Chain A
């Protein structure tokens, strides 16, 4: 079973920030939080990942709470092309692990004009 919980769907106006929440209350100290997105009928695309510090790259920002039990992916200026299903995944980076990604149902984000 997936170790994360996400709302099934969200809407966002074009040009506004999209804030996608994720709960991972059972996350362990060795697990990172990864975010991917999947545009309809395409392969998932990596967005960002983090352990406990906030992270930012050219696509998005990741805010992880101090207790690491939840996180928020922020798309600062959403465009119509950001319409996709967003998956939040926790993943162990320890050596010897098969590094499976356990996928939940994600959040379907609709960016509206």
Chain B
């Protein structure tokens, strides 16, 4: 199937541990994005990448890190520096200068 795969769907971690969320796409899109959503809120941009080996901070990048070594993959690491990591994380893809964004089904991270 073509699309965006985020795994796992649910993730639990202890406070103080780093955790990496996976996002893989086979849509051949250049741009990839990570958003965070809190209950009853809209999406907020964490990081985005418009091309392999390049990425930029979004509005709430503190406590997060990313890499873009392959076009198909854009993993997000939630570090122990993120003060409130429990949230719903969404990965999206698109072309930098055209078309709409396509979203994965999200990963719900709970830190206890």
A: residues with CB less than 8 A from B are: 2, 34, 36, 41-46, 49, 87, 93, 95, 98-101, 103-106
Contacts and interface: CB of A to CB of B under 8 A. Distances in A.
B42 interface: yes
Interface in B29-60: 31, 35, 40-45, 48, 50, 56, 58-59
Contacts of A42: 105-106
B100 A46 contact: yes
A106 B42 CA distance: 7
B78 interface: no
Interface stretch (B13-21, B69-77, B79-87, B91-99): B91-99
Given A93-B97, A103-B42, 15 more contacts: A34-B100, A41-B88, A41-B108, A42-B105, A43-B6, A43-B103, A43-B104, A43-B106, A87-B42, A98-B48, A98-B50, A99-B31, A99-B94, A100-B59, A104-B42
A100 B45 contact: yes
B90 interface: yes
Interface of B: 4, 6, 31, 35, 40-45, 48, 50, 56, 58-59, 88, 90, 92, 94, 96-98, 100-106, 108
Contacts of A2: 42
Given A98-B48, A100-B45, A105-B41, A44 B90 contact: yes
Contact of B97 (A95, A104, A106): A95
Contacts of B59: 100
A24 to B, nearest CB: 15
B43 A46 contact: no
A44 B4 CA distance: 12
B96 A105 contact: no
B90 to A, nearest CB: 5
5 closest A-B pairs by beta carbon, nearest first, are A103-B42, A43-B103, A46-B100, A103-B43, A44-B103
